[in-house]
Amino acid sequence: MQLRGTDAVADGHARAVDLKRHLLLRVTLFALVIGLIASGVVLQQAQERIRSHIARTGGTVERLLAGEATQPRDVFRRSLESMDLSSLDGIGPLLGICVAVEDIYKRPAIQRCFDDGADPPVLVRWLLARLIGPEVSYGGAIGQYPGVKVGEFVVTPNLDSEAVELWHQIRTVLGMTVGILLLNLLVYLPVRRALGPTDAILAVLGRMEAGDLAARMPRPRLIELRRIASGFDHLAERLQKTIAGQRHLAQRLLAVREEERRRFARELHDEFGQCLTSIGAEAAFITEGVRGPQPALLPAARAIASVTAHMMESLQGILLQLRPVGLEEFGLHAGLEELVGGWRRRLPECVFTLSVEGQVDELPDELTVSLYRIVQECLTNALRHASPGRVTVSLRREADACTLVVEDDGEGAPLSTAGSGLGVLGMHERVEALGGCFAMTRCVPCGMRVEAVFPASAMVEHEEEHA
């Protein structure tokens, strides 16, 4: 199930779409494609138009040149040299052509291009020349009466004139493309403004993920986002109330459990402890009484005294587990000193270090007992199962948090659920009941680190109750 959830999250990230960027790229790509297609259509139409134009105007030019040719003279060459293509001055600029005349010996006689004098862009002229090629032309003969051929002519498109006209059409296409891009910008800006609060929404989600359930969504202008934010805040309020109720119930259960332990400890100490003390006194009296007249009963009396002492020692251990001795009277600092000192006396080969900072003796009873129990459980499990050579207990109270860290360099065996009945689950429940954070990590190269951080609210409750 965990793997499936991870795959689902990864798949969700892979399919995530940024609406603003998606919209901007789509419309921009659409505008560019439209511009390219339209430019291609314009070029294709220009090619077809020029080809058909040269074919249509070639015959007209041929008739005009024939009318302009002079009558035969004694000197043949002068009949062509007198031609200046003035008959084309009227329609030449409109036709956008170039005319080249040669005599019958293929020698150039005259060459002229008709245009309006405008200079086209170099790139457009080069592209048009590559598109049309040199094969687009119209050739014919120039004759004089009575049917004498005096020369030839070739009509070709004027690339400068045609390029100017093509550039005008391309500018129209570019204007349309720019218009689409401008429309894209006009659409993008309102969408960006409408989706702008998503950054604030993501920030609120991050705060809630970090544990701040009091965070609330902003109210965007977009009505869909406003409805989502309102519904989310409603769910967050219900979740906050539910968690608060669960924490209150957990605190109540912890308080009831500690009260029962306190009552059991008091009953055992007052009733069972007094009985054991009385039995020990009676055993001592019997021992002294049978020492002389009935020495055979002396081992039995001593056995009763030994069992009674062992039971008294076991009772002290049970009372220590149920309720730490002196925790209420002397405070948490002294209780931890006694707890660590007891282990230090039992295991002199292990180095114990206790560091306490801040006024920890003024903490509320629930927090005091939880801190003591967590230290007790960590020491018990580490010393019984990990065989450490060093154990460090650090407790620090600050204005906004109370932090407990227990670290050892043992074999790193996982904490069991034995000992005082807490275990990892019990410690985690105690910390969560007070709104804190619990973490247990392995140290490098060996050892274990247990950290519990309690918020300021766990300390404020104590101050309010005793105000």
Identify the bridge partners of residue 438 per DSSP, sorted by sequence position: 452
Higher pLDDT pick, 372 / 298: 372
Question: What is d(CA 283, CA 306) in angstroms, rounded to the nearest whole number?
Answer: 9
pLDDT in tens, 104-141: 777 777 787 877 667 778 888 888 888 887 778 888 77
The long-range contacts involving 74-80, CB below 8 angstroms and separated by at least 24 positions, are 76/150, 77/103, 79/144, 79/150, 80/109, 80/110, 80/142, 80/150, 80/151
Structure tokens given for 375: 């230290």
* The pLDDT of residue 73: 45
Quick one: angle between helices 223-267 and 198-209, nearest 10?
10
Using a cut of 0.75, tell me whether the model's pTM lies above it: no
284 band by pLDDT with thresholds 50, 70 and 90: confident
* The pLDDT of residue 146: 62
465 band by pLDDT with thresholds 50, 70 and 90: very low
Of all residues in the chain, what percent carry a pLDDT higher than 70?
A: 82
Question: What is d(CA 171, CA 176) in angstroms, rounded to the nearest whole number?
Answer: 9
The length of the chain in residues reads 467
* The pLDDT of residue 145: 56
Higher pLDDT pick, 452 / 422: 452
- Find all residues with CB under 8 Å of 373, minimum gap 6, and list them: 420, 422, 426, 427, 430
* The pLDDT of residue 394: 93
Give the per-residue SS3 of the chain: CHHHHHHHHHHHHHCCCCHHHHHHHHHHHHHHHHHHHHHHHHHHHHHHHHHHHHHHHHHHHHHHHHHHCCCCCCCCHHHHHCCCCHHHCCCHHHHCEEEEEEECCCCEEEEEECCCCCCCCHHHHHHHHHHHCCCCCEEEEEEECCCEEEEEEEEEECHHHHHHHHHHHHHHHHHHHHHHHHHHHHHHHHHHHHHCCHHHHHHHHHHHHCCCCCCCCCCCCCHHHHHHHHHHHHHHHHHHHHHHHHHHHHHHHHHHHHHHHHHHHHHHHHHHHHHHHHHHHHHHHHHHHHCCCCHHHHHHHHHHHHHHHHHHHHHHHHHHHHCCCCHHHHCHHHHHHHHHHHHHHHCCCCEEEEEEECCHHHCCHHHHHHHHHHHHHHHHHHHHHCCCCEEEEEEEECCCEEEEEEEECCCCCCCCCCCCCCHHHHHHHHHHHCCCEEEEEECCCCCEEEEEEEECHHHHHHHHHCC
How many other CB atoms sit within 10 Å of the CB of residue 25?
12
Average pLDDT over residues 51-67: 78
Higher pLDDT pick, 92 / 98: 98
* The pLDDT of residue 450: 92
Structure tokens given for 306: 């030994």
Buried b (16+ CB within 10 A) or exposed e, 109-127: beeebbbeeeebeeebbeb
Minimal CA–CA distance to 427: which of 414, 415, 410?
A: 415
* The pLDDT of residue 1: 42
Higher pLDDT pick, 89 / 77: 89
Residue 54 has pLDDT above 50, yes or no: yes
425 band by pLDDT with thresholds 50, 70 and 90: confident
Residue 325 has pLDDT above 70, yes or no: no
User: 168-172, 188-192, 390-394, 439-443: lowest mean pLDDT where?
Assistant: 188-192
Question: What is d(CA 278, CA 286) in angstroms, rounded to the nearest whole number?
Answer: 12
Question: What is d(CA 356, CA 396) in angstroms, rounded to the nearest whole number?
Answer: 6
Residue 434 has pLDDT above 90, yes or no: no
| Phi/psi of residue 153, nearest 5 degrees | -135, 155
* The pLDDT of residue 392: 92
pLDDT in tens, 187-220: 878 777 777 777 788 888 888 887 777 788 888 7
Return the top range by mean pLDDT from 233-247, 347-361, 431-445.
Answer: 347-361
* Cβ pair 454, 400 in contact under 8 A: no
Given the structure tokens 């109330």, which residue do they identify?
241
* The pLDDT of residue 77: 44
464 band by pLDDT with thresholds 50, 70 and 90: very low
* The pLDDT of residue 451: 92
β-bridge pairing 148-157 and 97-103: antiparallel
Average pLDDT over residues 275-283: 80
* The pLDDT of residue 69: 62
Identify the bridge partners of residue 410 per DSSP, sorted by sequence position: none
